[in-house]
Amino acid sequence: MTADHPASGPKSRARGYARFIAIGDSYTEGLDDPGPDGSFRGWADRFADILAEANPAVEYANLAIRGKRITQVVEEQVPAAIALKPDLVSVAAGVNDVLRPKVDIDQVADQLEQSVEAIRGTGADVLLTCVGDPSQRSAVMGRLAARLGAYDNHVRRIARDHDALVMDFWGVTLFDDERCWSVDRLHLSAIGHQRVALAAAELVGLGDDSWRQLLPPAHPKPWLIRRRADVDWTIAHLGPWLGRRLRGTSSGDNITAKRPQLQPVVPS
């Protein structure tokens, strides 16, 4: 599989999906894609809307919570997802572990694989994600590219071994565009979430590869404005993130899942 081509996976049966469960961390919870009521929407909500267009009877639950690490997802969210008897489960977890200074990437991947094995054992399809290469959009995040790439290699192998679907964004030029990212440079923007939802739709046979289309050219920002933005980002986002690491706290502390039970999808 090459970086700019979608992965293969289970035969499309999107119109047969009656129960879609999303699990993981902030990526799947939907930061930073605010809906009309101010709550976070995100790619999984948007993808559920697409599934509902094909099958109005589909039900959807989202158990993802920001800041969760792979062990928490395996121990808390996977059993809860299986209990809901899903047809399709998206699993996006492990990046919060990989971003930490000390991490055993092989061990994180082993836990991800345990999750996939457990879900696939029920007969449900699994949708995984390979994150994109941050090197082209962020010098700070680019320092983590090697370890993110190593984890993506595990994700691809797990997908092959367990006949899972995988959205592979590594090397996809679209996501080098800062407009696909929120001001914290870590989470997707509304545009980014929309494109991920369309990528998921393509994998299950409900779309094409138009999600890869580049955005219209943007006017370049003057050097001084870019440097001020770097300073603002360091103060508002990098500093607090590092502080939480030092304190051993998480952005997900005291946060509960936004959609813990299966519900019909009401297109937004």
Question: Who has greater pLDDT, 236 or 204?
Answer: 204
- Work out the pLDDT band at 169, boundaries 50, 70, 90: very high
| pLDDT higher than 60, residue 268 | yes
| pLDDT higher than 60, residue 7 | no
pTM for the whole structure: 0.87
User: In degrees, to the nearest 5, what angle opens at C-alpha 166 toward C-alphas 160 and 167?
Assistant: 150
What is the rounded end-to-end Cα distance, in angstroms, of the chain? 34
108-114 contacts: CB < 8 A, separation 24 or more?
A: 108/70, 108/151, 108/154, 109/151, 109/154, 109/155, 109/158, 111/70, 111/71, 111/74, 112/70, 112/154, 112/155, 112/158, 113/154, 113/158, 113/161, 113/162, 114/74
| pLDDT higher than 50, residue 4 | no
Structure confidence by residue, pLDDT tens digits, 209-265: 999 999 999 877 776 666 666 556 555 655 565 566 556 666 656 799 999 999 999
Structure confidence by residue, pLDDT tens digits, 15-46: 679 999 999 999 999 998 998 888 899 999 99
C-beta atoms surrounding 184 within 10 Å: 15
Q: What is the pLDDT of residue 10?
A: 43
List the structure tokens of 161. Answer: 């071994």
User: What count of residues does the chain have?
Assistant: 268
Q: Which domains does the chain have, with CATH numbers?
A: 14-264 (3.40.50.1110)
